[in-house]
Structure 1
Amino acid sequence: MAYDDILPRLARPSRYLGGEVGSITKDPAQVELSIALAFPDVYEVGMSHLGFAILYRILNERPWLAAERVYAPWGDLEAELLAAGEPLRSLETQRPLSQFDILGFTLQYELSYTNLLMMLDRGGVPRRRTERGEGHPLVVVGGPCAYNPEPLADFFDCALIGDGEEALVELCEAVRAARAAGESRSALLERLSSIEGVYVPGLFAVDYQDDGRLAAIRPLRAGYARVRRRFLADLDSAPFPTAPVVPTMNTVHDRVSVEIARGCTRGCRFCQAGYIYRPVRERSPERILEVVEQALTASGHEEVSLLSLSSGDYACIEPLLKNLMNRFAESRVAVSLPSLRVGSLTPELMEEIQKVRKTGFTLAPEAGSERLRQVINKGISAEDLVETTRIAFGLGWRVIKLYFMLGLPTETDADLDAIIELATRVKKSGKGSQGGADVNVSVSTFVPKAHTPFQWEAQIGIAETRRRQELLREGLRAKKLRMKWHAAEMSFLEGVFARGDRRLGNVIEKAVDLGCRFDGWNDCFDFARWQQAFAACGIEPSFYLRARDPEEVLPWDHIDCGIPKAFFLRECQAALAQVPTPDCRTGACSGCGICDFEELRLRLCDPRSLADLPSPPSAKAAPAEEQRCRLRLRLAKTGKGRFIGHLEFMSLFHRAVRRAGLPVRHTQGFHPHPRISFSEALPHGMESEAEIIDLDLAAPLSAEEAVSRLNASLPEGFRVREGALLHWRGAAPSASIESTVYRFALPKDAPVDLEDRIASFLGAARVSAQRLKKGRSVAVDLRPGVVDVWVEEGRLLLEMSQGSPLPVAAFLLERDEAQVRDLPACKIGVRLRPTPDGLS
């Protein structure tokens, strides 16, 4: 591995390993084109993004094309790369980013822009498109933020606007054809501009007025005045990954995610996603069942998430959910709907949901008053919300989270008071419910987005945001309600870039030079640096938060989302008049202009097709009495595996057991989990040939078959060496292990008197040393737990009955623990207490 010397010094090395189950590695010499799919945030965030996974699978289905992944390096890795002069590399082949033909960045959030530039820097790719030559990768961006790509226009070569399943493949084919024809970079960009949905910023010029507003966006190529978004007409026939990449670490969303629908017709006037993903296209329940079955088998996950902008609006949601839950109840797979609206929550649907889990329930009224909900076209009443929460509390939920926005157009303090009143009513709706009722209130600041009816509206500034937050905090605290909020400065910056223009590119570049990274993370965000960057570039950021005149040229006017500007203006006027726009799913067409009513139209699944759905398995007869036994395994954790932390390893192994189909028994209770016991955690970065794991089986299975099935399911770096069946009442690994033997490679400068030091150590009753614990140096006795120490073939061996070997090795070798961690080390064996059967 290219990062071998660096990984032991990182806090979370498992972010950078690759080699996961489901990942695809192709020989670069055997493909014509390579693309690095780049996510400008850490691995655990990027691996939870479904769009990224869809493109990874689609692209790799082409034998001539290799798609690999790269995620933003956290600060510790970036510092190590700089110090070592090493480039940022992909996960699959460890190639530097500069060696790829295409770098494809997904833009999900404005506060990730600095990470994009940082990744180009660390990957050895020039930041600005004008600085890239024939040998540099083509830098492509996509995602929701690409609907106003102008703040980043100086840094990418082209943007893909809209759905990427077909368009990105066409883009790669065009690059392949241009290369075969020997075309120059400029000729390639001309070729790409002919693909619908591809925006080439170098083919547009921007003029400004004296007051800073835009004067014109001028196309530099005839017939290329606007770039129309790309649409995927039929979601049901689109490719979808059924063998997902299974992460080696715990991610934000650790589950099988299935997109059941794309688009929304609710028409909330603040919601960009509700407009740019129109029209609604639903995936058939037959296809969803097929995807879920295959993805669970391939991944070993224990949860399925049904995704869309409003999962409860899916035409077949209740029978689909019931079918899924009945189908997977025996295998203890949970089904979740993370995106639910009050208007779509029927009592029958809530009954189904509560069978799965009742850990939390999130609803988004957005505004507290009926008047303001009419302004934003939310379409729900306070009575609907309170009745929904009353049912939820009655069904056993204990905590309900309410999501609101402050700073919405026309908002007054009375509307903020209404948030407090509504949250109080929700809490009271749970009065008398078993176990009590709790309500958490989450409040974000409204940010006007491009391609929405509110794209002309002003955003409140930092001082006013803080005043309104304080008003809510005090009012909710008085009602004994908790509140979470977004930092005012972060919302301010998001608003600047959401409606910004090309002049902000200089600011982003300056901020990166000043050290801005991971601006969406509270512990990384540094607003003072951003203020310094704006000042250095002579830009007043509040200029971008102002209200816009309807006749003003907007920075994104040349990006066509499929909905005409006139519709958005009518909706803005309707908002101020508090006139609702009905949902065209159930009412009259709203005239947004997105559909051609032939190819591009609403595509809803037919509830009548549910009669053709395969029935869930019928209830089986009572199982015969279990023939319990214990399977004890000795597992090796080597190579990449040594960088997987203990909790991550436990999750990884649980998924492997599910993929292998081993009949593991589960605990009882509301959240049953498999009965698998592990030995104590290894020191960070140490290899092992002797991880002892016990599985409590409900049915007998030969040890040989279990080992074979597990080894076929484990990722790179893990291998079961042997297995044995024990009586199920036997002691767990932690109680069975009498001692453990560790081996350390001796450094070249090992103490010359090492043998004497060992003899002195073993002969002492007490060995005092200093250790760092939570940043403080404390005195410890190293002697307890050490059974024996010796040197053999140039290696230091320690046998210990308890405790970590690191401080003992550090003491004997006269080094600190950090230096000892860098030494090749391995847990080579365990001594087990005598049992009738077992491993030795």
Structure 2
Amino acid sequence: GSVRRRVLMDLDGGFAPSGMIVPSSEIIHDRVGVEVFRGCTRGCRFCQAGVVSRPVRERSPERVAGIARDLLVMSGYDEVGLVSLASCDYSGIERVVDLLGPDLSAKNFRLSLPSLRMDAFSVELADRLEELGRGGLTFAPEAGTQRLRDVINKGISQKEMEDTFREVFSRGWERVKLYFMMGLPTETMDDIEAIMEISLLARDIGRRLGKRPKIGVSVAGFVPKPHTPFQWEAQATVEDLAMKGGTLKRMAKKAGIGLNYHEPAQTFLEGVLARGDRRIAAVIERAWRDGARFDGWTECFDMGRWMNAFDSEGVDPKEYTCRTRGAEEAFPWEVVDVGVSRSFLWSERERALSGDLTPDCRGGSCNLCGWHVEMPALFCRALRRAGARIEMTEGMSPHPRISLGPALPVGVPALGEPLEVWIGNWEERFGGSINSLLPRGVTVLRYGVVEGRPRLSEECTAALYRIIFREERAFERIREMISGGWMPVGHSLCISASGNWIDVAVSSPGQTGGGTIVKSLVKEGVAGSWSELLVTRLAVGSWSGKSVRPLPCGGGGRG
């Protein structure tokens, strides 16, 4: 069996340090760090922390401010860093600035944030931080081209980057640091060269605004991590990373841009440790006995010592890094259940290779990263609490007779989905009480007893998708296309336009529907990426000749 990770849901009630060890010498993070929230739903496909730390849980601004004050008094530091995976997404950040601002200003202390997202950058917030001591700003585009940013689900457009640089330099900031990765899946040399093009773009925008911008670039080698959509991917070789790093160094030197990047050999070793199994434990001990210490420091790192340890233990390190895993390969880390299904991760990998974005589900509709794994069990528990006896399948390993309709395309929310369950002792009160037993966000709209009908998989032959456009000019363009007979997919049944959206009925209700429509819109130049659209599945059922008709659910009632 697997080990399910435990989740602290109440950060305010959980432990928070009131003291810390303060070293006598300067360290990299030479400040007080306060965690403002835990978890992230941005969905960056390279990020392990974004998967294993779900769901999002915030600490209250009052609690954040209290922890910060205690640690400042105890430590003697003069700076507070608000720490999380995406601090710009913290809903209470302005309130924290209000609570801490007067105290920090009176003592000439500073408030800082870690790397910022360009698509979540707040000029107003930057101005507030400026009042508490101006330093530099750090952004993490991660990849040089729009194509590759879509692959990793970063989704930052060229326009968003240009707008951010313009806002930053126009308001007086001069130091900007940019984080990138190299060795990402599907990467080409065009993507590598674009890293320096973005850096030069930032510098040129700053100069045009009369500033003397100082642009720093940091590039790390990509390491595929467990529990991410890229856990199946091969890692770039040491030789490949060295070649790409050398190209960047030459371009940076010519352009006068400061550049540092991670040593390829260290990235290779990190990849072995990241996806290793129990055999790697003996290798680590061997390297330690041979003198390996502080190997995260370049001056202390000795790859030869590690290769000797691999040889001594009969382990081939390339077996862990340089091969693509098969879809069905079992992984040693899957003994830990982090709450996100393997099928969701595989679907995200497929979307990555197709260049499809998955929107952030925080504050909006769920991306159902465990839908077809968790939802049947969720309904079974609710029905049992209501007193229902769910029938079981036959065979060696019986399981509840419950099934869902066609799987949603990943990243597409739904307003009404069918579900069927076999109940041996049906009573009307089960339907009437079901919603009070389900978690918030999951609601039964209608229910009923159905006999002698085909299975859902046979009856669900059509789906209706709504695509909302965030820009008016995009909608004007789509009207012209519809008038010209445009059909987004070969199995389109009908298209209608109204307001700032279009409704598209298709005869493939499963995975191909919503994603294929978005691909068509991007190909036609109507949208640059998924982030410019909001796609929702409105209905699943059968085609009536004019519309998608939801499946009837018998003579029951409303939930």
Q: How high is the TM-score relative to the length of structure 2?
A: 0.64
Query: Of 329, 336, 356, which aligns to 1:579?
Result: 356
Structure 1 residues 299 and 518: alpha-carbon distance in aligned structure 2, compared to 1, 3 A threshold: closer
2:429 aligns with: none
Change (3 A) 1:259 1:425: same
For the 8 Å contact 1:341–1:364, the answer to whether it is kept is: yes
What is the DSSP-based 3-state SS (H/G/I as helix, E as strand, rest coil) of the residue aligned with 1:306? strand
What residue in structure 2 maps to residue 325 of structure 1?
Answer: 101
- Once residues 560 and 341 of structure 1 are traced to their aligned partners in structure 2, the CA distance between those partners, rounded to angstroms, is 29
Provide the C-alpha distance between the structure 1 equivalents of 2:21 and 2:254, rounded to a whole number of angstroms: 47
2:163 is aligned with 1:387: yes
Distance in 2, matches of 1:304 and 1:331, equals 12
Contact 2:35/2:84 (CA < 8 Å) preserved in 1? Answer: yes
**Which residue, out of 120, 132, 139, partners 1:356?**
132
Match of 1:216 in 2: none
Is the aligned partner of 1:373 residue 2:149? yes
- Once the 2 structures are TM-superposed, how far is the Cα of residue 477 of structure 1 from its aligned partner? 2.6
State the alpha-carbon separation in 2 of the partners of residues 563 and 527 from structure 1.
35
Match of 1:292 in 2: 68
Q: d(CA) in 1 for partners of 2:95 and 2:438? A: 28
Aligned equivalent of 2:297, options 492, 501, 521: 521
Q: How far 1:283 sits from its partner (Å)?
A: 0.6
**Conservation of the 8 A alpha-carbon contact between 2:62 and 2:99:** no
User: Once the 2 structures are TM-superposed, how far is the Cα of residue 340 of structure 1 from its aligned partner?
Assistant: 2.0
Query: What is the CA-CA distance between 1:377 and the residue it aligns to?
Result: 0.3
CA deviation digits over 1:594-633, x for unaligned, max 9?
A: 999999999xxxxxxxxxxxxxxxxxxxxxxxxxxxxxxx
Distance 1:472 1:243, change over 3 A: closer
Question: Which residue of the partner structure matches residue 503 of structure 2?
Answer: none
1:243/1:460 Cα in 2 relative to 1: closer, same or farther (>3 Å)?
A: closer
Gaps of 5+ in 2: 379-436, 442-559
Aligned ranges for residues 341-352 of structure 1 at < 5 Å? 341-352=117-128
Flag the structure with larger Rg: 1
Q: Distance in 1 between matches of 2:42 and 2:188?
A: 25
Check whether the contact 2:174–2:212 (CA below 8 A) recurs between aligned residues. yes
Matched, 1:304 2:80: yes
2:254 match: 478
Is the 8 Å Cα contact of residues 449 and 499 (structure 1) preserved in structure 2?
yes
Letter in 2 for 1:255: R
Residue equivalent to 1:549: 326
Write the distance in 2 (CA, Å) between the matches of 1:538 and 1:294.
Answer: 51
* Partners of 1:413 and 1:250 in 2: CA distance: 38
| Partner of residue 345 from structure 2, selected from 555, 565, 568 | 568
Do the aligned residues in 2 keep the contact of 1:257 with 1:307 (CA within 8 Å)? yes
**Pair 1:475–1:239, CA change in 2 (3 A):** same
Q: Using the TM superposition, give the Cα deviation of residue 275 of structure 1 relative to its aligned residue in structure 2, in angstroms.
A: 0.7
Q: Which residue matches 2:473?
A: none
Question: Which residues of 2 match residues 732-811 of structure 1 at below 5 A?
Answer: none
Give the partner amino acid of 1:325.
Answer: G
Mapped contact 1:307–1:339 kept (Cα < 8 A): no
CA deviation profile, 1:171-202 (whole Å, cap 9, x unmatched): xxxxxxxxxxxxxxxxxxxxxxxxxxxxxxxx
Q: Once the 2 structures are TM-superposed, how far is the Cα of residue 467 of structure 1 from its aligned partner?
A: 0.8
Are the structure 2 counterparts of residues 600 and 240 from structure 1 closer, same or farther at C-alpha, using a change threshold of 3 Å? Answer: farther
Given residue 358 of structure 2, which amino acid in structure 1 is its aligned partner?
T
Q: Taking structure 1 as reference, are residues 510 and 324 closer, same or farther at Cα in structure 2, changes over 3 Å only?
A: same
Alignment of 1:607-626 (within 5 A): none
* C-alpha displacement of 1:521: 0.7
Find out whether 1:453 has 2:237 as its counterpart: no
The amino acid of 1:516's aligned partner reads A
Counterpart residue identity of residue 253, structure 1: H
Question: 1:90 matched to which residue of 2?
Answer: none
Residue 434 of structure 1 deviates from its aligned partner by 5.1
1:726 corresponding residue in structure 2: none
Q: Deviations over 1:42-92 (max 9, x none)?
A: xxxxxxxxxxxxxxxxxxxxxxxxxxxxxxxxxxxxxxxxxxxxxxxxxxx
Structure 1 pair 392/600, CA: closer, same or farther in 2 (3 Å)?
A: farther
1:590 shift after superposition = 0.9
Cross-structure match for 2:183: 407
CA distance in 2, matches of 1:434, 1:358: 18
Contact 2:169 2:211 in 1 (8 A): no
On the 8 A contact 1:396/1:434 being kept in 2, the answer is no
* Structure 1 residue matching 2:328: 3-state secondary structure: coil
Query: Aligned equivalents of 2:248 and 2:21: distance in 1?
Result: 43
Amino acid at match of 2:332: P
CA distance in 1, matches of 2:22, 2:282: 39
Cα contact 1:233–1:600 (8 A) shared by 2: no
C-alpha contact (below 8 Å) 1:398/1:438 kept by paired residues: yes
Structure 1: gaps (5+ residues)? 1-224, 603-840
Change in 2 beyond 3 A, CA 1:601/1:508: farther
What TM-score, normalized by structure 1, do the two folds share?
A: 0.43
1:336 to 93, 98, 112: 112
Shift of 1:343: 1.8
Q: Quote the RMSD (CA, aligned, Å).
A: 2.2
- Which residue number corresponds to residue 263 of structure 2? 487
**Cross-structure match for 1:496:** 272
Question: How many pairs are equivalent?
Answer: 378
- For 2:291 and 2:20, locate their aligned partners in 1 and report how far apart those are by CA, in whole Å: 35
1:573 is matched by which residue type in structure 2? E
The runs of at least 4 aligned residues of structure 1 exceeding 6 Å deviation read 594-602
- What per-residue deviation string (whole Å, max 9, x for no partner) do you get for residues 342-361 of structure 1? 12211101111222333322
